[in-house]
Amino acid sequence: MLKKIIFFIVIILLIGVGIFSFNSYTSYKENKKEEQKYGQQLKKDVHSYLINDKNYKDSDIKQMEITKNSKQRGLRSVEIDVVFNDDPDSTYTYVYDSGTRKVIQMAGNGQKNLEPQNK
């Protein structure tokens, strides 16, 4: 009788662990999809910001890449790194301002920074 009780307790624990693992994995996948969608929108908005607001041309932009800042969590960790043709040794990081949801440039220390001077 005791063996049957222990057997059922083990089965219930295994089912519980399985359900927890499945829920965690599903949540992780949903968060990754949300981050990818957020990153694509941010990249599009950064491009628009540089072209329309800062008067850059597509030819001025050498590279734009979606990156993650390990010091942030969730969507705040998604950033866009931009390299300009006239300053190929520097990377400029852009995010959404948390208060206004406008694109801003961040300095290496997490503070707002100025874009390079456009010609």
* Coil, helix or strand at residue 78: strand
Question: What confidence tens digit (pLDDT) does each residue in 51-83 have?
Answer: 999 999 999 999 999 998 877 776 778 999 999
Predicted pLDDT at 115: 59
Nearest to 42 by CA among 105, 111, 98, 96: 96
Residue type, 22: F
**pLDDT, average across residues 93-101:** 87
Looking at per-residue confidence, does 70 or 42 come out higher?
A: 42
Task: Look at 41 and 2; give whichever has higher pLDDT.
Answer: 41
Report the C-alpha gap between 20 and 28 in whole angstroms: 12
State yes or no: pLDDT of 110 exceeds 60. Answer: no
For the whole prediction, is pTM greater than 0.85? no
Q: Residues near 51 by Cβ (< 8 Å), separated by ≥ 6?
A: 57, 58
| Residue 83 exposed, middle or buried by CB count within 10 Å (0-12, 13-18, 19+) | middle
| DSSP state at residue 112 | B
Cβ atoms 114, 105 nearer than 8 A: yes
Radius of gyration of the chain (CA): 23
DSSP 115: P
CA-based end-to-end distance of the chain: 84
